[in-house]
């Protein structure tokens, strides 16, 4: 039975066009001088994000870590929404390597979203030299573990405004910012207003085999290049990956198709009596009574997913057609009782 892989939008295979572009890429040693293809990709992404400059990095985790290293001094506290990727999914590097002290903000503004008032309260005011210093707010749009939820532009502005009023820098983990922008019908730059740095991913949804970019001011990205090297991210003929990234960006206008697949999946599950929410983007979190049993049952019918706490996560992507979603629903019908909440 052919597997239908809904574990992540990172399981996509490079398209024939992407493989051809990689094979033909103009390359150079990016440590000695800028690789020409990476340079084109960095300029293109900086423009899309409304930032002065951008830097290619092998992974989103490295991009986020470099941003935290730019903004934090040892012992500084940084704020982030509860269950943000920088808090629970990056092996503690924000504390270990960037030297920061994380504090999670509850979702008082909606799934995955704190409020501006929370930022103001958590930032506090400057006290004596021996008080804890808060210097950074990390945002995440879309918020993965809230189910791919979107922070609307108005809320983004309010959060950034509260951070700036409290003299905090702002980093945006925009691994799936493309999806947030698509869901709101906005250009990506509309959702980076006021941030100091932003990380976006090319392998989540867009189909590149690897790579993220960190955007920011020219001085920040110059220092980020040094930090990338410090972390072992010296890139030689990176144009091979740069070419893949340039082709991946061509998929941006089609992300709405993945959102539509996810909405159809949720609708089909609800028709089977499963408590599936209405997804905002391409992530669907379905609460289940027993995640391990549900996961095993889905594997037995050739539908691959991942557990997220007490839920099962489905992520449709570019390598799956709408007919694959219909086939997945057909396969899940006999095991749907294991997905139904009590």
**pTM above threshold 0.95:** yes
Q: What is the rounded distance in angstroms from the CA atom of residue 101 to the CA atom of residue 84?
A: 14
Q: Tell me: the pLDDT tens digits for 47-81?
A: 999 999 999 999 999 999 999 999 999 999 999 99
Q: What is the pLDDT of residue 341?
A: 83
Q: Which ranges of the chain does DSSP label H, i.e. alpha helix? A: 16-23, 36-49, 60-71, 85-88, 93-96, 116-123, 153-165, 177-184, 218-230, 239-249, 255-271, 291-300, 322-332
Q: Is the pLDDT of residue 342 over 80?
A: no
H or E segment and range at residue 127: none
Contact 179, 142 (CB under 8 A): yes
Q: Categorize the per-residue pLDDT at 311 as very low, low, confident or very high, splitting at 50, 70 and 90.
A: very high
Contact 199, 58 (CB under 8 A): no
Q: Categorize the per-residue pLDDT at 1 as very low, low, confident or very high, splitting at 50, 70 and 90.
A: confident
* CB atoms closer than 10 angstroms to residue 318: 20
Query: Both tokens of residue 222?
Result: 């110059």
With 0-12 CB in 10 A as exposed, 13-18 as middle and 19+ as buried, what is 167? exposed
Q: What is the pLDDT of residue 125?
A: 87
In a 13 Å sphere around the CA of 173, the CA atoms on its Cβ side amount to: 30
Q: Tell me: the pLDDT tens digits for 280-308?
A: 999 999 999 999 999 999 999 999 999 99
Using DSSP's 3-state secondary structure scheme, residue 221 falls into: helix
What's the gap between Cα 160 and its chain centre? Answer: 18
Q: Tell me: the pLDDT tens digits for 233-259?
A: 999 999 999 999 999 999 999 999 999
Q: In what order do the strands lie in the sheet with 212-216?
A: 53-57, 212-216, 197-201, 169-174, 134-140, 77-81, 101-105
Q: Tell me: the pLDDT tens digits for 158-199?
A: 999 999 999 999 999 999 999 999 999 999 999 999 999 999
Q: Is the pLDDT of residue 83 over 80?
A: yes
CA dihedral 239, 244, 249, 253 (to 10 degrees): 160
Q: What is the pLDDT of residue 33?
A: 86
Region 12-35: mean pLDDT is: 95
DSSP labels, 167-204: T-EEEEEETTHHHHHHHHT--GGGGSTT-SEEEEESSS
* CB atoms closer than 10 angstroms to residue 70: 21
């Amino acid at each position: 039975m052919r597997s239908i892989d809904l574990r992540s939008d990172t399981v996509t295979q490079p398209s024939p066009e992407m493989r051809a572009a990689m094979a033909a890429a103009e390359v150079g040693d990016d440590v000695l001088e800028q690789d020409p293809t990476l340079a084109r990709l960095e300029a293109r992404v900086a423009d899309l994000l409304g930032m002065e400059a951008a830097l290619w990095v092998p992974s989103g985790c490295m991009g986020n870590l470099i941003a935290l290293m730019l903004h934090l001094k040892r012992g500084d506290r940084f704020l982030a929404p509860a269950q943000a990727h920088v808090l629970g999914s990056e092996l503690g590097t924000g504390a270990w390597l960037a030297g920061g002290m994380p504090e999670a903000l509850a979702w008082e503004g909606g799934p995955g979203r704190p409020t501006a008032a929370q930022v103001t309260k958590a930032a506090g005011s400057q006290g004596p030299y021996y008080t804890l210093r808060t210097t950074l707010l990390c945002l995440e749009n879309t918020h993965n573990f809230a189910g791919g939820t979107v922070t609307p532009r108005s809320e983004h502005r309010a959060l950034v405004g509260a951070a700036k009023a409290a003299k905090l820098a702002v980093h945006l983990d925009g691994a799936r910012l493309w999806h947030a922008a698509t869901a709101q019908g906005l250009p990506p730059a509309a959702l980076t207003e006021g941030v100091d740095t932003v990380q976006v991913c090319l392998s989540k949804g867009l189909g590149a085999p690897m790579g993220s970019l960190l955007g920011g001011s020219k001085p920040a990205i110059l220092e980020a290049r040094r930090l990338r090297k410090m972390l072992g991210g010296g890139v030689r003929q990176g144009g091979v990956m740069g070419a893949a990234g340039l082709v991946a960006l061509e998929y941006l206008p089609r992300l709405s198709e993945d959102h539509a697949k996810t909405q159809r999946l949720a609708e089909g599950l609800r028709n089977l009596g499963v408590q599936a929410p209405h997804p905002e983007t391409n992530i669907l979190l379905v609460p289940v009574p027993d995640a391990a049993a549900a996961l095993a049952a889905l594997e037995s019918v050739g539908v691959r997913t991942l557990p997220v706490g007490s839920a099962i996560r489905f992520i449709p992507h570019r390598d799956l057609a709408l007919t694959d979603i219909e086939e997945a629903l057909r396969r899940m019908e006999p095991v749907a009782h294991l997905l139904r909440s009590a």
